[in-house]
Structure 1
């Protein structure tokens, strides 16, 4: 007599559950890193007007930062008012605590917000710095900071 199989065996079901468990073990940490990078992109976008002003200043001054001040950056780009070298953040800044420009060398520093803003403890209160290299060919940026390197933005 022929017997027709009408379902899955216990071993087949256990194999499927094991495969799903392995995929979840790999996917969840990758997704968490992705969400942190997405939140930290706010630091990059809020400091981009200052970095643009530094690039314009570099181009206008023959590849030199010798006379760089907050006032000269404000003159280079009407959209950025640096005053005492502190970049004003919009009221909607959720993950950025502060940002500033060092007038002597044009280094832009952004500090991540606290854990209450939704950032994990590993990145809360850490910073990202963009250090410019000014030449007649243009401005290049080196990215560093106290955040883990896997969360660095692309320069």
Structure 2
């Protein structure tokens, strides 16, 4: 009489549970990182869509001859080289008053619970315009990215 050994087929329950636990841990780390990454990318893209307004304010300042430290009073939306407001995929509306640019970001786009705002305030020096970037109601990752990328130009 010969005894046959039964060969194991498939995985045991404990092996499957270990694999599910590993996948769960990886997902718990990866999903928030991915969300932060996409929010930062969208914030950078929103800033680049505001560049036309920054250039318009710079043209207005140059043509009007504002001195260092002055407020560019006539550099408003749609006049003196500043473009009229135009919505983009990431920026729902833009306002420019006295050179200060305010961009409204839709809540659904950035993944926030409420709509956010990016504000760029110009500071005139003898040879350049520097921009102070502020944000409200944005995710922490987006605010951190805006602060990090605020080179002042």
TM-score when scaled to structure 1? 0.66
Does 2:120 align with 1:122?
Answer: no
Aligned mates of 1:49, 1:135 — CA distance in 2: 20
Give the 3 Å change call, closer, same or farther, for CA 16–131 of structure 1 in structure 2: same
Does 2:29 align with 1:19?
Answer: no
Aligned mates of 2:10, 2:131 — CA distance in 1: 60
- 1:70 counterpart SS class: coil
Aligned mates of 1:57, 1:64 — CA distance in 2: 15
Structure 1 stretches of 5 or more lacking a match? 82-86
Does 2:91 align with 1:101?
Answer: no
Greater gyration radius: 2
Q: 2:73 aligns with which of 68, 73, 93?
A: 68
Aligned-pair RMSD on alpha carbons?
3.3
Contact 2:69 2:123 in 1 (8 A): no
Structure 2 stretches of 5 or more lacking a match? none
Contact 2:121 2:133 in 1 (8 A): yes
Give the total of aligned pairs.
139
TM-score when scaled to structure 2? 0.67
Structure 1 residues 44-53 or 4-13, which shifts more?
Answer: 4-13
Give the 3 Å change call, closer, same or farther, for CA 142–48 of structure 1 in structure 2: same
Does 2:23 align with 1:30?
Answer: no
Question: Which residue pairs with 1:43 in the alignment?
Answer: 46
Aligned mates of 1:40, 1:134 — CA distance in 2: 25
User: 1:30 deviation in Å?
Assistant: 1.8
